């Protein structure tokens, strides 16, 4: 199964945005040009392994988080969907969603589901 570089680029862009970095700031931290990062984020260019590791380190995520689609054997679809939802949340939204999930889980347990 081939890597979908458009999806990889989308995940990199989402993590970068969540961290509050512009492409310019991000590229400076990685040591690559903004144009190169733009091509990676749009799926027009595959990152080298070294650049992928640098990207993961700057974003404080594992390479698996970036290559999540490739890890589908160990991560089910609902976990991927939940991660994508959480990626788009600010800190307050994350706390509310986590609290809601815990309360829902407790209610389901109590109902015997």
Residue with tokens 């800190």: 91
> 24 vs 16, 63, 84, 106, CA distance in Å?
11, 21, 24, 45
Indicate the fold that domain 1-72 takes in CATH. Answer: 434 Repressor (Amino-terminal Domain) (1.10.260)
- The Cα–Cα gap between 103 and 35 comes to 45
Indicate the domain borders of the chain. 1-72, 76-113
pTM for the model: 0.62
**pLDDT tens digit at each of 113 positions of the chain:** 578 899 999 999 989 998 999 999 999 999 999 999 999 999 999 999 999 999 999 998 888 889 876 444 444 556 667 777 887 788 899 899 999 999 999 999 999 98
């Amino acid at each position: 199964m081939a890597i979908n570089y458009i999806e990889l680029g989308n995940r990199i862009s989402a993590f970068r945005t969540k961290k509050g970095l512009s492409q310019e700031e991000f590229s400076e931290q990685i040591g690559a040009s903004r144009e190169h990062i733009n091509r990676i984020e749009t799926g027009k260019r595959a990152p080298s392994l070294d650049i992928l590791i640098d990207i993961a380190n700057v974003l404080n995520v594992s390479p698996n988080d970036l290559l999540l689609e490739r890890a589908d054997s160990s991560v089910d679809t609902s976990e991927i969907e939940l991660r994508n939802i959480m990626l788009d949340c600010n800190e307050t939204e994350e706390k509310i969603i986590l609290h809601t999930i815990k309360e829902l889980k407790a209610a389901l347990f109590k109902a015997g589901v």
